[in-house]
């Protein structure tokens, strides 16, 4: 029968078929896969519609009512729709529903497969699988149509009544959108944001936002590794049990399912992120009463959830800020919930650790994040000894410490604290023996001491800190899970104590009151203490009193001596005099003599600027990168000096003549004379009775004799022209600052030493991959050995070290029997100390592959050894750099050890009278008085002033641009030029390259069109918040003038053109100004974008939606290591007028390969 005849004869079937097909939704990522949303069943399959369809095909009376009853009472609405979709000219078509009814086939039987004509359930367990021979009566074409049309009608619905699902690979999941990149990943899998159709997740349907078609959920997808399948099944089982727990602060998992090779878990989406995200986004509110009260309320809730878990003999196992999720609720702060309980472990009720140990009930769950794990995990690693629930208590103590760091100092210092503390504990004593013990990490102790000294007037925070020190960060764990003095606390008592603090916060606002620090936050960046022995005070683990650790000699307080204690003054630089025999050129942080004036981070501070700066360029740049506050030496006692030293000038002309016998006498009381006398003795100098010293730059020595002392100066307000920027003590081993120094040395080496540049293919005129060793140690998570042919060309570091004695026990090597194990994973703590330190250094300089001969050559394989040993020269020559360990006699000693400190004396020099930049601000003749001082550095003055101005606060943010107009007009008049929106024609490109100057995002200022307050988005006038300009060296940037049009420079043609372009480029006489730029795509991943681009505001962007306009490029041949393009980042906005309007959203310095060659001209408003 022809199609048009069918449609005329069966109008109801045609109508319903059209409604169903129009109701289909495309599943994300599948162009041909569609599904029918579950809520459409109620709309499309009603008793009235079913009766009309059946009657239209000739079914009436009892037979009709019987089928209607089957469709609705037995649950066959999807079966009915399948018949509608595959309807043909056979009017007896729907009578086949009777066959299915008699055989017990319903919607619950779907999906069905067909084997030898029999229908068979596809998603039932083996013992529940059913076969339906009724389908043998159907012809092959009908079975095929039935099978192919069923999938689009059975998209799963995740209901609270069922948790675990096993789907056939052909199931269509009701996902409308899936994030291109996972939001997080770990050893077990990754978490992605997914948009699901609301009809398929009833429990969250109430949270559907107006105007949004789907609900965001989190999908945790396990890695496709056979060994992890067991852990996924355990995790799913644990999470199903956790759904029964009644706590608002425990995340409620929605479902677990497997489909094909994927194993997934579904959770509600935490729209606020996690606890760390809260700290970051609400940094400025951390002393707000309302926020503080919320923080303590949530802390009580988290502790109550932990108590509930522990009371049911369940351990979380991976507590950390990232696993405490933040669910925002409209305008309120919302709620924190414990999440990622996949590592949770349930035990028999009332079974404590000792009982489980006796009965050989061991914990097979993998451990959580190592940073927050307690010290017993290190002690018991590799054993089957069970883990106590008090594992979680230690982790909570670590989290509360970070919470306190945030409350007192802010989020930036939380990040710094994390960088300096890999663990919260440290071992001492011989490893693997009864002498090995554990104590609180020295840096953690230092920070706790520092915070304790700053919160004397904040009782809530003080009590929280006391709780951590006395109850939570306690090494001993009682075998019976009970609250015992001297042992780590249990969850019930922790909850009770936190609840007490919270109640006092509610009843006594002075108890909660925000604190006001006497000192700025950088003081928390204290140098790590020396390792401390463990001892107890009052039964508690404690670090020794710092006074007990002092070993220095105190000088006599003799009022009769010619000594004087010099007071310190602000603006006076500290000159540190060091003994010279331990000083190498590297210690001075310099690289070469330079005649370039030292600008001291040219536009960041209004510091004095000197005309000459010998060999200080590298040191100055380094201190700008790592921040002087991070490495500055501890304050020395006030130098006690004799009369002669007190009045000595260290600059030219330098004169020092002293009788040697007099020097011996004064060295008893004068710090500097003692340092000089010790240097002479150490040098074995035997000279005349009268000694004359010379000062060549920053080195003091004997005339015609050896060098004795080195002079270093701190980067203070004034820097004497003869002084060398540097440090009296070497940077802490293994610290972030040390690695920054190493990377800067390497950068200079790469960019200035021809033979040290990355491997270069001269014929192809491009950077080529170096020859690769056969195997490398990959420094990811986990640590493992990889075959280099499986990873492609990569930079690597080679380790040159001394193996030590051949009878060393515990040597760590690759052998035939363990090479496959080492290629799976390596516990870094099993490595010898030298190997661990090499891993630390390689990671620290950003290289993620390491070559170690004993691990990358199979030691008992003669053929492999023969092959690899002949390539040894190639391995070392192809390495990006080599770590040569000369200080260790075996691989067990390591090389990142604490160094012996060098004696030094800290002096002060008077201000030498240079005019400071700050003086100009109060000069009535400003800015004319600044012009001679700055000469050709006027843009530095502008940048400095604007950076300072941007940090000011205004009652009305829209007044920001108006308030600076006076200053801008004075500068324009002095410069004899025009100015607008914070720009000057000559410096337009440089001033375009600004970024926000902190972890705090800027805020868009609402502006009125056509007023003086209105500013374009490419001007920082349009946003509230502090800025900084990109640090671009003068004479080393090529401005990309062909990539943008300077709005100040209007050509005569533009003057004559009265059209749109002229209007858009006009900047004077109009309150609207636009910038034309050549916009290019970004060629990078989402994560690369997040690390490369500094966004102005707290908005979310996808990399595909962004464009960049290049403003300047590093000049070829400059000392930049790798050339970069400096750009503004823009985003297209809709204005409702169908115009393509772009706005500036950030700034970035990008690799050339990260920018597309093609582009289009756009208008930036």
pLDDT score of 583? 32
pLDDT score of 578? 53
* Of the listed ranges 38-52, 147-161, 303-317, 330-344, the one predicted with least confidence: 330-344
Q: Provide mean pLDDT across the span 230-255.
A: 87
pLDDT score of 347? 39
Q: Do residues 171 and 143 share a domain? A: no
pLDDT, one tens digit per residue, over 409-452 is 999 999 989 988 888 998 887 766 777 889 998 889 888 988 88
Exposed, middle or buried, 344 (CB in 10 Å: 0-12/13-18/19+)?
A: buried
Whether 787 has a pLDDT exceeding 70, the answer reads yes
Q: Looking at residue 340, which CATH number applies to its domain? A: 1.10.510.10
Pull the structure tokens for residue 366: 């993998």
pLDDT, one tens digit per residue, over 332-360 is 899 999 998 755 554 333 334 444 444 33
Domain of 1158 in residue numbering reads as 985-1164
pLDDT score of 865? 84
pLDDT score of 1053? 37
Whether 265 has a pLDDT exceeding 60, the answer reads yes
Q: Do residues 44 and 177 share a domain? A: no
Q: Do residues 84 and 136 share a domain? A: yes
Q: Do residues 450 and 308 share a domain? A: yes
Q: Provide mean pLDDT across the span 769-779.
A: 86
pLDDT score of 348? 37
pLDDT, one tens digit per residue, over 736-754 is 788 888 888 888 888 877 6
Q: Do residues 121 and 248 share a domain? A: no
pLDDT, one tens digit per residue, over 953-982 is 665 666 566 557 767 777 787 778 888 888
Pull the structure tokens for residue 167: 């789907």
How confident is the prediction for the chain on average, in pLDDT? 77
Residue at 443 is within a domain: yes
pLDDT score of 1061? 32
pLDDT score of 603? 35
pLDDT score of 703? 81
pLDDT score of 972? 80
Which H or E run contains 422? none
Residue at 565 is within a domain: no
Whether 1151 has a pLDDT exceeding 50, the answer reads yes
Q: Do residues 178 and 134 share a domain? A: no
* Of the listed ranges 147-161, 377-391, 986-1000, 1148-1162, the one predicted with least confidence: 377-391
Select from 379, 375, 425, 376 the least CA-distant residue to 532.
Answer: 425
Q: Do residues 1015 and 1153 share a domain? A: yes
Residue at 917 is within a domain: no
Band the pLDDT of 714: cuts 50, 70, 90: confident
Q: Provide mean pLDDT across the span 373-379.
A: 88
Cα 282 from Cα 295, distance rounded (Å)? 11
Band the pLDDT of 918: cuts 50, 70, 90: very low
> Whole-model pTM above 0.85?
no
Share of the chain above pLDDT 90, in %: 33
In order of 144, 525, 721, the CA distances from 520 in angstroms are: 74, 11, 30
* Of the listed ranges 57-66, 192-201, 357-366, 445-454, the one predicted with least confidence: 357-366
Select from 90, 7, 87, 16 the least CA-distant residue to 51.
Answer: 16
Q: Do residues 367 and 506 share a domain? A: yes
Q: Provide mean pLDDT across the span 1160-1164.
A: 92
Whether 408 has a pLDDT exceeding 50, the answer reads yes
pLDDT score of 345? 53
Q: Which residues pair with residue 517 across a beta bridge?
A: none
Whether 598 has a pLDDT exceeding 70, the answer reads no
Band the pLDDT of 686: cuts 50, 70, 90: low
pLDDT score of 877? 78
In order of 456, 502, 536, 542, 958, the CA distances from 451 in angstroms are: 9, 20, 21, 16, 38
Band the pLDDT of 767: cuts 50, 70, 90: low
Band the pLDDT of 1060: cuts 50, 70, 90: very low
Residue at 910 is within a domain: no
Q: Provide mean pLDDT across the span 725-735.
A: 79
**Final residue of a domain: which of 667, 695, 730?**
730
* Of the listed ranges 343-352, 525-534, 1042-1051, the one predicted with least confidence: 525-534
User: Residues of 1064-1091 as b/e, b for ≥16 C-beta within 10 angstroms?
Assistant: bbbbeeebebbbbbbbbbbebeeeebee
CB-CB contact of 705 with 685 (8 Å): yes
Band the pLDDT of 80: cuts 50, 70, 90: very high
What is the distance of C-alpha 7 from the center of its chain?
61
Whether 951 has a pLDDT exceeding 50, the answer reads yes
Q: Provide mean pLDDT across the span 705-711.
A: 83
pLDDT score of 369? 63
Whether 312 has a pLDDT exceeding 70, the answer reads yes
Residue at 278 is within a domain: no
Residue at 208 is within a domain: yes
Task: Give every CB contact of residue 102 below 8 A, 6+ residues apart in sequence.
Answer: 134
pLDDT, greater one: 1032 or 718? 1032
pLDDT, greater one: 734 or 310? 310
pLDDT, one tens digit per residue, over 855-864 is 999 988 888 8
pLDDT score of 1055? 40
pLDDT score of 866? 79
- With both helix axes pointing from N to C terminus, report the angle between 140-149 and 77-85 in degrees, rounded to the nearest 10: 120
* Of the listed ranges 95-109, 439-453, 1032-1046, 1134-1148, the one predicted with least confidence: 1134-1148
**Final residue of a domain: which of 699, 730, 761?**
730
Residue at 1101 is within a domain: yes
What is the distance of C-alpha 1140 from the center of its chain?
34
Task: Give every CB contact of residue 728 below 8 A, 6+ residues apart in sequence.
Answer: 576, 578, 633, 712, 902, 904, 906
Share of the chain above pLDDT 70, in %: 74
Q: Do residues 995 and 863 share a domain? A: no
Residue at 317 is within a domain: yes
pLDDT, greater one: 461 or 946? 461
Q: Provide mean pLDDT across the span 119-134.
A: 82
Q: Do residues 339 and 435 share a domain? A: yes
Q: Looking at residue 263, which CATH number applies to its domain? A: 3.30.200.20
Half-sphere exposure of 321 (CA within 13 A, CB side): 21
Whether 207 has a pLDDT exceeding 60, the answer reads yes
1014 SS3 class? coil
Band the pLDDT of 590: cuts 50, 70, 90: very low
Cα 390 from Cα 384, distance rounded (Å)? 17
Q: Provide mean pLDDT across the span 524-537.
A: 34
Q: Do residues 541 and 577 share a domain? A: no
Q: Do residues 169 and 129 share a domain? A: no
Q: How many domains does the chain have?
A: 6
Q: Which residues pair with residue 1039 across a beta bridge?
A: 1112
CB-CB contact of 215 with 208 (8 Å): yes
**Final residue of a domain: which of 268, 297, 319?**
268
Q: Provide mean pLDDT across the span 977-991.
A: 87
Whether 543 has a pLDDT exceeding 50, the answer reads no
Whether 671 has a pLDDT exceeding 50, the answer reads yes
Q: Provide mean pLDDT across the span 758-766.
A: 47
């Amino acid at each position: 029968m022809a199609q048009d005849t069918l449609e005329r004869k069966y109008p109801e079937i045609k109508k319903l078929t059209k409604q169903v097909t129009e109701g289909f939704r495309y599943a994300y990522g599948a162009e041909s896969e569609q599904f029918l949303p579950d809520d459409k069943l109620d709309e499309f399959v009603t008793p009235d519609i079913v009766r009309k369809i059946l009657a239209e095909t000739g079914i009436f009376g009892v037979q009709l009512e019987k089928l209607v009853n089957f469709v609705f009472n037995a649950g066959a609405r999807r079966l009915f729709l399948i018949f509608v979709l595959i309807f043909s000219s056979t009017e007896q078509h729907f009578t086949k529903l009777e066959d299915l009814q008699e055989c017990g086939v319903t919607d619950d039987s779907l999906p069905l497969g067909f084997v030898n004509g029999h229908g068979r359930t596809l998603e039932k367990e083996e013992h529940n699988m059913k076969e339906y021979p009724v389908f043998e009566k159907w012809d092959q074409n009908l079975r095929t149509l039935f099978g192919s049309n069923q999938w689009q009608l059975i998209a799963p619905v995740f209901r609270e009544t069922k948790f675990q699902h096993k789907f056939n690979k052909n199931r269509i999941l009701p996902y409308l959108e899936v994030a291109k990149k996972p939001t997080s990943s770990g050893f077990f899998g990754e978490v992605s944001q997914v948009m699901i159709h609301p009809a398929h997740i009833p429990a969250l349907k109430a949270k559907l936002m107006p105007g949004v078609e789907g609900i965001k959920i989190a999908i945790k997808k396990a890695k496709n590794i056979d060994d992890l399948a067991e852990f996924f099944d355990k995790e799913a089982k644990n999470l199903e049990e956790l759904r029964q727990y009644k706590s608002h602060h425990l995340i409620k998992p929605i479902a677990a399912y497997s489909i094909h090779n994927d194993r997934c878990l579904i959770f509600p989406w935490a729209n606020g992120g996690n606890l760390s995200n809260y700290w970051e986004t609400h940094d400025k509110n951390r002393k707000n009463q309302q926020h503080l009260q919320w923080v303590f309320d949530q802390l009580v809730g988290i502790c109550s959830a932990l108590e509930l878990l522990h009371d049911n003999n369940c351990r979380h196992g991976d507590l950390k800020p990232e696993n405490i999720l933040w669910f925002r609720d409209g305008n309120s702060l919302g709620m924190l919930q414990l999440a990622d309980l996949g590592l949770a472990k349930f035990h028999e009720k009332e079974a404590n650790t000792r009982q489980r140990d006796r009965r050989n009930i061991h914990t097979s769950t993998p451990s959580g994040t190592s940073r927050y794990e307690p010290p017993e995990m290190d002690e018991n690693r590799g054993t089957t000894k069970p883990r106590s629930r008090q594992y979680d208590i230690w982790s909570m103590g670590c989290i509360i410490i970070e919470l306190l760091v945030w409350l007192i100092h802010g989020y930036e210092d939380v990040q710094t604290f994390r960088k300096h503390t890999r663990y919260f504990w440290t071992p001492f004593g011989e490893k693997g023996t009864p002498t090995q013990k554990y104590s609180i990490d020295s840096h953690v102790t230092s920070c706790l001491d520092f915070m304790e000294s700053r919160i004397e007037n904040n009782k809530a925070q003080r009590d929280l800190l006391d709780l951590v020190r006395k109850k939570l960060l306690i090494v001993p764990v009682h075998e019976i899970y009970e609250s015992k003095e001297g042992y780590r606390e249990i969850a019930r008592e922790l909850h009770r104590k936190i609840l007490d603090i919270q109640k006092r916060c509610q009843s006594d606002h002075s108890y909660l009151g925000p604190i006001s620090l006497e000192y700025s936050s950088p003081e928390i960046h204290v140098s790590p203490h020396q390792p401390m022995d463990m001892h107890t005070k009052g039964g508690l683990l404690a670090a020794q009193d710092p006074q007990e650790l002092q070993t220095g000699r105190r000088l006599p307080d003799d009022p009769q001596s010619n000594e004087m204690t010099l007071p310190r003054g602000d603006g006076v630089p500290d000159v540190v005099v060091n003994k010279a025999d331990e000083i190498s050129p590297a210690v001075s942080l310099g690289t070469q003599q330079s005649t370039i004036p030292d600008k001291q981070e040219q536009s960041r501070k209004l510091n004095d600027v000197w005309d000459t700066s010998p060999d200080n360029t590298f040191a100055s740049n380094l201190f700008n990168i790592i921040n002087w506050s991070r490495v500055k030496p501890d304050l020395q006692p006030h130098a006690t000096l004799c009369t002669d030293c007190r009045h000595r000038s260290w600059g030219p002309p330098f004169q020092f003549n002293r009788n040697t016998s007099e020097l011996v006498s004064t060295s008893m009381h004068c710090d500097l004379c003692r340092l000089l006398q010790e240097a002479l003795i150490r040098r074995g100098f035997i000279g005349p009775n009268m000694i004359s010293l010379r000062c060549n730059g920053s080195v003091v020595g004997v005339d015609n004799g050896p060098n004795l002392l080195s002079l270093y100066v701190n980067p203070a307000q004034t820097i004497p022209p003869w002084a060398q920027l540097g440090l009296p003590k070497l940077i802490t081993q293994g610290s972030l600052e040390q690695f920054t120094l190493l990377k800067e040395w390497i950068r200079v080496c790469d960019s200035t030493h021809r033979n040290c540049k990355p491997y270069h293919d001269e014929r192809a005129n491009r950077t080529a991959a170096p020859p690769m060793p056969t195997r490398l140690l990959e420094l990811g998570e986990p640590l493992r050995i990889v075959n280099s042919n499986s990873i492609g060309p990569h930079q690597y570091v080679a380790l040159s070290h001394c193996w030590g004695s051949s009878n060393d026990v515990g040597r760590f090597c690759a052998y035939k029997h363990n090479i496959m194990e080492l290629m799976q994973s390596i516990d870094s703590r099993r490595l010898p100390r030298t190997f661990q330190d090499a891993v630390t250094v390689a990671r620290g300089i950003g290289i993620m592959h390491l070559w170690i001969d004993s691990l990358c050559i199979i030691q008992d394989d003669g053929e492999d050894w023969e092959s690899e040993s002949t390539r040894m020269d190639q391995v070392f020559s192809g390495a990006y750099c080599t770590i040569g360990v000369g200080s260790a006699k075996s691989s067990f000693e390591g090389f990142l050890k604490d160094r012996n400190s060098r004696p030094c004396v800290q002096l002060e020099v008077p201000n030498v009278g240079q005019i400071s930049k700050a003086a100009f601000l109060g000069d009535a003749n400003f800015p004319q008085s600044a012009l001679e001082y700055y000469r050709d550095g006027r843009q530095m003055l502008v940048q400095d002033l604007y950076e300072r101005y941007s940090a000011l606060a205004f009652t009305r943010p829209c007044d920001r641009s108006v308030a600076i107009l006076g200053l801008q007009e004075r500068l324009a008049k002095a410069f004899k030029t025009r100015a607008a929106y914070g720009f000057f024609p000559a410096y337009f490109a440089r001033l375009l390259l600004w970024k926000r100057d902190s972890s705090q995002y800027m805020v868009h200022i609402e502006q009125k069109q056509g007023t003086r307050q209105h500013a374009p988005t490419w001007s920082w006038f349009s946003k509230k918040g502090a800025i900084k300009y990109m640090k671009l060296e003068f004479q080393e940037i090529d401005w990309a003038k062909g990539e943008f049009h300077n709005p100040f420079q209007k050509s005569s043609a533009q003057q004559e053109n009265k059209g749109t372009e002229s209007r858009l480029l006009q900047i004077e006489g109009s309150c609207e100004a636009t910038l034309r730029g050549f916009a290019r795509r970004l060629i990078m991943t989402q994560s690369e974008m997040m690390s490369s681009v500094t966004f102005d505001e707290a908005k979310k962007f996808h990399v595909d939606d962004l464009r960049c306009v290049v403003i300047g490029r590093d000049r070829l041949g400059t000392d930049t290591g790798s050339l970069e393009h400096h750009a503004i980042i823009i985003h297209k906005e809709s204005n409702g007028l169908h115009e393509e309007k772009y706005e500036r959203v950030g700034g970035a310095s990008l690799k050339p390969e990260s920018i597309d060659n093609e582009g289009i001209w756009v208008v930036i408003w």
